[in-house]
Amino acid sequence: MSLVFYAIAGLTVAGGLAAMLLKNTVHCALALTVAFAGIALLFLELDAQFAGFAQILVYIGAVAVLVVFAILLTRGSETPKGGVFSRNWLTGLAIAAGVFAVLGWAVLGSARALPGPGGTPTAAPTVTVLQIGNALMGRYVLPLEIVALLLTAALIGAVIVAMHEKEGAK
Amino acid sequence: MIETADQIFVLLKQWVVGLLPAGLQPVAGVLLSVVAIIAVFPTLFALAVWVERKALGRMQNRIGPNRVGPLGILQPVADGIKSLTKEDIVPLSADAAVHFLAPVVLVVAVFMGFAVLPMGRNMELVDMDAGLLFFFAMGASTELSVFMAGWSSRNKYSLLGAMRAVAQMISYEVVLLLSSAAVVMITGSLSLVKIVEAQNHYTWGLPHWYIFTPWGCAGFVMYAIAATAETNRSPFDLPEGESELVAGYHTEYSGFKFALFFLGEYLAMFSISGLGTTLFLGGWSAPFSFLGWVPSWIWFFAKVMLSIVVFIWMRGTLPRLRQDQLMNFAWKFVLPLTMLNLLVAGLWRFLGDGWERWVVCSAILVLAFAVMGREGMRREHFGPRRYRYAE
């Protein structure tokens, strides 16, 4: 737990908070991007280069841009007059607490699965991108293919949605 | 002697770092490399701007800048002083914070890309195991800054330009990534240093650059198309099409912030040319084995500057595309070809070392190009065009 970790963690949490509390939707999206960047930096601090760069490439390069596009193409980026807090915030709170509990349980459980006495981690193994690639193509090829199938289905679905609209307009 | 000339910058750096106390040495080494990158590329930017203005002038039957210094070579200096002293105007309705951050984010993200480019033998800031991924991650971050600039200006031209730019960059980024993936498949590494080393072999004095293989040649052409679109250069400069959008996403920027956008655009050109050089043109390796005595960094910068000249040449030659042509070209023509190219690269790897793989791979690519091109052209209707104007 170094100073760098606290700085990055602070940045990430601040980004997440800002994404929740800011009034302007586009500002929220940009703040969310800061949170994404913080998570990527956390991965890099843990020497997980592949995960860190993939996080930047996918979340900042694609997801953030997609979010921003969606905001601009739907409601417009104007600040709503009636405030940004939803009326059924209690339900939201319950769901958020549930998700946090599951994540916390998973993280605490994984510490016990680590090798070494009493669940304390031994020397961190260095993982190269080559090893990740081999693992994805060997041991984890079935999950990879299932994800690929899902994405292809989503892609075809998007094309069909777009095509239908075009025919109707004619 | 040859060895010293080749490694002169590395030796220089070691000498300077050696003067410092041992505790500071690692930090000083990195800082020195960063300062070198920040000094060299903006200088090249000034040179490239001058070359562009001169060459474009010639192509358009003008003389180009000729007042400041001999042949106008000091024009970039004059431009720099002008943009530093100009008033920095922020529109009243603009989102001041985001408006200020956009050019900063752009330039920072573009500069980061240079960190992994091998600019000569042993001349890279960091040799990352996932260097190529790092480069693309940084490139992806520039899209957001373009959007920030366009949105925060509160100007319809800016917003339209930004939307166009982001749509274009996302579309062509897919092509860029997939055309580079073929190189990764053959080399078996994401490290740019290893990719250059894999190409640094010679047969009969000729280099083993990837552009001299069927899949590499096709990949390079598609990479070049995507790179042009990614850097918003003509003929893909719709996001800043002067005739329709004033200046696109940087319409509302003046003074030094505009200069930063200008710098960012050129630096992106340098870095993407540098990556293209590294992936397909053998990076810092010499084009013939008997030219091996020329320092490696000269080859790298020569190849990059040559790519810049080609960029300028294309800008002077080709007319601008229409938005729908741009999108159709990316998704319906280039993208399927890049996917096919991935398959061909796989075939190349598994067909062995004989002459058969040259014939098979070339035939597949040429056939696909011809068939898809003809199919695409048949659906286009050439002839008089009717326009409907807004009533």
Distance of CA B155 to the CA centre of its chain: 28
Whether A84 is in a domain gets the answer: no
Query: Looking at the complex, does the CB of residue B163 fall below 8 Å from at least one CB of chain A?
Result: yes
Is A71 in the same domain as A103? no
Alpha helix stretches (DSSP H) within A23-86: 25-45, 49-55, 64-73
Is A65 in the same domain as A16? yes
Chain A to chain B, count of Cβ pairs less than 8 Å apart?
65
Residues of A whose CB is below 8 A from B190: 129
Chain B CA closest to residue A70: B163
Q: Are B141 and A60 in contact (CB under 8 A)?
A: yes
User: Which neighbouring-strand residues pair with B206?
Assistant: B203
Domain holding A13, by residue range, is 1-78
Q: What single string gives the DSSP state of each residue in B162-184?
A: HHHHHHHHHHHHHHHHHHHHHHH
Is A72 in the same domain as A8? yes
Q: With an 8 Å Cβ cutoff, are B148 and A54 in contact?
A: no
Q: How many CA atoms lie within 13 A of B7 on its CB side?
A: 9
From residue A52, alpha-carbon distances to A56, A58, A68, A128, B306 in Å are: 6, 10, 22, 13, 34
Is A8 in the same domain as A54? yes
Q: With an 8 Å Cβ cutoff, are B137 and A27 in contact?
A: no
Nearest-Cα distance to chain A for B129, in Å, is: 7
From residue B87, alpha-carbon distances to B203, B245, B361 in Å are: 59, 23, 58
Is A97 in the same domain as A157? no
Q: With an 8 Å Cβ cutoff, are A62 and B147 in contact?
A: no
Q: With an 8 Å Cβ cutoff, are A57 and B137 in contact?
A: yes
Alpha helix stretches (DSSP H) within B212-351: 214-230, 242-245, 255-280, 296-317, 323-328, 335-350
* Residue A99 clears pLDDT 90, i.e. is over it: yes
Is A48 in the same domain as A16? yes
* Residue A98 clears pLDDT 60, i.e. is over it: yes
Chain B CA closest to residue A131: B189
* Residue B153 clears pLDDT 60, i.e. is over it: yes
- How sure is the predictor about A119, in pLDDT bands with cuts at 50, 70 and 90? very low
Q: With an 8 Å Cβ cutoff, are A130 and B136 in contact?
A: no
Q: With an 8 Å Cβ cutoff, are B140 and A57 in contact?
A: yes
User: Measured between CB atoms, which of B133, B139, B189 is closest to A50?
Assistant: B133
Mutation for A interface: B105, B134, B146, most A CBs within 10 A: B134
Q: Are B368 and B340 in contact (CB under 8 A)?
A: yes
* Residue A170 clears pLDDT 50, i.e. is over it: no
- How sure is the predictor about A142, in pLDDT bands with cuts at 50, 70 and 90? very high
Query: Looking at the complex, does the CB of residue B137 fall below 8 Å from at least one CB of chain A?
Result: yes
Whether A41 is in a domain gets the answer: yes
Is A49 in the same domain as A114? no
What pLDDT is attached to residue A95? Answer: 93
Is A137 in the same domain as A160? yes
Residues of A whose CB is below 8 A from B163: 69, 72
- How sure is the predictor about A86, in pLDDT bands with cuts at 50, 70 and 90? low
| B304, two tokens | 């990059």
User: Which neighbouring-strand residues pair with B203?
Assistant: B206
Domain count along chain A: 3
SS3 for B332? Answer: helix
- CATH code at position A73: 1.20.120.1200
> What pLDDT, in 10s, does the model give residues B183-238?
988 888 888 888 888 888 888 878 888 888 888 888 999 999 999 988 888 788 77
